[in-house]
Structure 1
């Protein structure tokens, strides 16, 4: 497949922390709002060598902190699709958490519309279905209110927020990502045609179980829903269960995702 995105540019967007050249399937992981590729480093360690894990690095953070943020999901999805066409060389699945779930959905739609290989499965974590809109306006809040939101969700090292320099780096990225999510509107005429696995925490303040279940309206493929104990970042404390779900679903999708014994210690 060829696009305008160069292979070198693709490596800016996608990180292979633990290359798995002999894996039968790849898993492309998309972080949450304010998140970075390194969130999925433990996943790559746990799933290699059976699954080749690629983590998306959005601009504006970590080693891409000097690049401008992208504050709308359609453009971000377009750029990631370009990168994927150069980096994914085998059957693949998508795993997105929170904002990453919306991106996974949009990326899969774009691949289908372009006649490119579709994911064998899309894992949608910690996000309500696009048809279950809430009028959230976190991106318009004050810095203090956004910090309170971060603390409420417990999605980052809370002690780091006490450092003014770290806060100054984190806040613009988080505000940007919330703007991207909160201004996004889906096209109800477009649906996926691949299997979907939805995961959510039973105490997530941002997603009800019914809102998570509504993802079944957005694909013609089979959908399964797993509700695990925890809040918005349930997947950290339930990492072993999440990793097991990934292995089992990818194995069922045709990828060889047998778990080596050394992978059982992986943490999200």
Structure 2
């Protein structure tokens, strides 16, 4: 255990939390994935600690009941999150992970708890456009193919049991995504930085314009790479994620 660190306080966080950094970024994974989506990210970027969030119902929390809805996920996350809001922080959510990140910002505000200095949204249209996600239209066999292709894209030849496991998580996450309907477009009290990946064929700059209605300050940035390249924490992304400090 490194100096200035303590054991992870709850199953919601897979890394020990440090007391030696001046700020934190809480990272929300995309549908079908977990905190391991950020396993290649460093423990800190400059003086900002990286804190991947582990949703229930996957990876080391496979035996925990699924969160069911993004609103319930946000509500359940607040208690383990609250002790860690003792310094400036930001949220980063990739793809559908941006939606529970947004809902968590709203929940913190409702409870009078500190809010983030920035909400970073990566490759995800605004909440009122969430139902347009192409993945939500796919059949189960097509989703199985998507899971296999994703695993192969990470340099691993998938075994059938790996695909079965990934598909079971993805199907429950997709049920939550399909049920999500935000009719009231509630603005957050912090700037939003929206990232569009230049080589992402699924989400264009135009698809992301809806976020402009969710904060007084919304900055849409185009970054180099494809939809899943965030997983490698490229330098351009690192600089953006610490630009608020």
TM-score range relative to shorter protein = 0.7 to 0.9
Give the corresponding residue for 2:162.
166
Match of 1:47 in 2: 45
Query: Are 1:151 and 1:158, in contact at CA under 8 Å, matched by a contact in 2?
Result: no
1:56 to 53, 61, 65: 53
TM-score (norm 1): 0.79
**In structure 1, what is the equivalent of residue 97 of structure 2?**
100
In structure 2, stretches of 5+ residues that fail to align are 1-6
CA distance in 2, matches of 1:204, 1:145: 19
Aligned residues: 239
The residue matched to 1:69 in structure 2 has which SS?
coil
Distance 1:95 1:189, change over 3 A: closer
1:235 equivalent among 219, 227, 230: 230
TM-score (norm 2): 0.86
Structure scoring higher RCO (CA < 8 A, sep ≥ 6) equals 1
- Give the direction of change, closer, same or farther, for the CA distance of 1:136–1:120 in structure 2 (3 Å limit): closer
In structure 2, the partner of 1:3 is none
2:63 paired with 1:66 = yes
Whether the 8 Å CA contact 1:95–1:101 is kept in 2: the answer is yes
Cα displacement (A) at 1:246:
0.9
SS at match of 2:24: strand
CA distance in 2, matches of 1:159, 1:124: 28
The DSSP-based 3-state class of the residue aligned with 1:78 is: helix
CA distance in 2, matches of 1:42, 1:242: 13
1:19-61 superposed Cα distances (whole Å, 9 cap, x missing partner): 432211111111111111122233243526x112211111111
2:43 alignment partner, SS class: helix
Q: Determine if the alignment matches structure 1 residue 35 to structure 2 residue 36.
A: no
Structure 2 residue aligned with 1:116, among 110, 113, 117?
113
Report the RMSD for the aligned CA atoms in angstroms: 2.6
Higher helix share: 1
How do residues 76-225 of structure 1 correspond to structure 2 at under 5 angstroms?
A: 76-136=73-133, 138=135, 141-150=138-147, 157=154, 159-160=156-157, 162-220=158-216, 222-225=217-220
Aligned counterpart, 1:261: none
Q: Is the Cα–Cα contact under 8 Å of residues 99 and 127 in structure 1 kept in the other structure? A: yes
